[in-house]
A and B are shown apart, each in its own frame.
Chain A
Amino acid sequence: MAYKQRIDGRGFDETRPIEAKVGVIQRADGSAMFKIGNTWAYAAVYGPRNLHPKFLQDPQRGILRCNYNMMPFSSSGERVRPGGSRRSKEISLVTEKALLPVLDLEEFPNSVVDVFIELPQTEAGSRCAGICAASMALADAGLNMKDLVCAVSLGRVDDKLLIDLDYSEESYKDGPVADIPIAMMPNSSKVTLLQMDGEISKEELMELLEKSRKVLMDIYEVQKRALKEKYHEVEV
């Protein structure tokens, strides 16, 4: 049976409802919340701050450190054991690489900018939600950045190409599935994160990449609005 209609009734090019807010963690230098459907991410930025041990320091520029973590109760199945897994370490790494191209930390040699991403609740697309939150938090922290970073998962379920897979689609059993998280700098359309698991033809993938631009621009608008709202509230 072909995949005719999405389980939650959305269009194939449509994301789940998105909510974003900036400045949600007062103790952080920058912070943001990003929610897409049932996936919910917080990001806090601390720094630039002193970096120890010294051998980690880069005398030319500040370094970026990201940490992605799922809260123990954030999965709909069993409790997630705290302390990080191989999966969360890998996601931390690709998140760092997704954000680094927009950041200019030359003004801060030997220092570190720490980004902590925490997910209270997840249902597919958590790394993308984390990246969206982190990019807003970095802007909120007043760092030099040439762009924001927007992320979403693309995918294929059976013979359909679609945007922002949810859990039921990721685990669809009656046909081939592909899950493709992507992050992009919206103003230059350059890709900073691309992963995939599943099966898809090159032609289908290229079609999806083309489709993703519009959705990512919509996410960018949400991020922009959230950033402006925080400072608008403050200024006016």
Chain B
Amino acid sequence: MMHRELRNHIIGLLNADIRLDGRKLTEYRKPIEVEYGVVKTAEGSARVKIGETDVIVGVKLDVGEPYPDTPDEGTIIVGAELLPLSNPEFELGPPGIQAIELARVVDRGIRESKALDFKKLCITPSEKIWMVIIDICPINDAGNLFDAASLAALAALKDTKYPAFDGEKIDYKAKTDKKLGLEKMPIAVTVIKIGSKFIVDPDIEEEKAIDARLTVSSIEDGTLCAMQKGGDFPLSIEDIDKMLDIGIEKAKELRKYL
């Protein structure tokens, strides 16, 4: 354990109801900012800042063939690159397991909540569908990329407009006014367990010292749509109970920024 001392110190603080930077246990960093349409070359984009964490998500649309088992449904593809520009520990090269997990967690939140109606992405059944390609690019990783990327992905989808399509070719230069349209607003909140305490929105220091994390994605009415447990330590049923409560509660707060 390289971060034994740090973990002990954090636990000492958490027992006094305070975090390393003075925050309360379930308090997000401030300010939280959501900016739409930051990238003109994308069909939709958003930039989200949570404290010093800064993420850009861009959406490109393309036309492809549907999967044989869902001939009348479009699809989404989520990619994440942990750019070495954003964190001294990230390296160049193909996406590693961290990046893949991040992309998959964002993907599941959108897919399973049915935030997008895949049937509406169908152009000609069995032939042509819209593919919604969502790419996550962190600019500054100061912790909690999961929640920032999920929020930015949803905001970018909200911003997305179809390009002109004549049945054969896409004209990316000619944007239409037709929005992609979101059916649901899934928000991911990652709840962290350190010692016996639970926190949200970890900074870089806290991320080094976590025992376990649970990313909880929920929609407006509190229904859960995706989860992901991470970290090396197990969770008890009681832990999960508490973490879900925090996750659902905090999602309501984050949703207000959209």
Contacts and interface: CB of A to CB of B under 8 A. Distances in A.
Which of B52, B92, B141, B204 has most A Cβ within 10 Å?
A: B92
B58 A120 contact: yes
A75 B184 CA distance: 29
Given A27-B88, A82-B135, A73 B60 contact: yes
B79 A121 contact: no
B85 A28 contact: yes
A169 interface: no
Interface string A112-145: 0010111011110000000000000000000000
A83 B92 CA distance: 9
Contacts of B92: 67
A71 B87 contact: no
Interface in A28-68: 28, 38, 42-44, 46, 49, 67
Nearest to B47: A120
A122 B38 CA distance: 12
Contacts of A43: 85
B135 to A, nearest CB: 4
A71 B56 contact: yes
A25 B4 CA distance: 29
B88 A73 contact: no
A118 B173 CA distance: 23
B46 to A, nearest CB: 11
B41 A27 contact: no
A73 B85 contact: no
Given A25-B86, A42-B85, A120-B58, A73 B139 contact: no
Contacts of B87: 27
Contact of B139 (A42, A82, A121, A122): A42
Nearest to B93: A83
Contacts of B45: 73
Contacts of B173: 76
Contact of B142 (A27, A73, A120): A27
Q: Is the interface of A mostly helix, strand, loop or mixed?
A: loop
A44 B85 contact: yes
A72 B86 CA distance: 16
Nearest to A65: B92
Interface string B26-41: 0000000000001111
A22 B79 CA distance: 28
Contacts of B59: 73
A71 B152 CA distance: 15
B84 interface: yes
Contact of A73 (B41, B54, B94, B95): B41
Which of A72, A75, A122 has most B Cβ within 10 Å?
A: A72
A74 B204 CA distance: 28
Given A25-B140, A27-B141, A73-B39, A79 B62 contact: yes
Given A25-B139, A42-B139, A71-B135, A76 B88 contact: no
Interface string B92-116: 1011000000000000000000000
B79 A75 contact: no
Given A44-B85, A72-B135, A83-B94, A123 B60 contact: no
Interface of A: 24-28, 38, 42-44, 46, 49, 67, 69, 71-79, 82-83, 114, 116-118, 120-123
28 contacts: A25-B86, A26-B140, A27-B86, A28-B88, A38-B40, A42-B139, A46-B88, A67-B92, A71-B137, A72-B135, A72-B137, A73-B39, A73-B41, A73-B42, A74-B39, A74-B58, A77-B172, A82-B79, A82-B81, A82-B95, A114-B84, A116-B84, A118-B85, A120-B39, A120-B58, A121-B39, A121-B41, A121-B42
The 6 A-B pairs of least Cβ separation, nearest first, read A73-B58, A73-B42, A116-B85, A72-B135, A79-B60, A44-B85
Given A26-B140, A71-B135, A122-B41, 5 more contacts: A27-B52, A78-B62, A118-B83, A118-B139, A121-B39
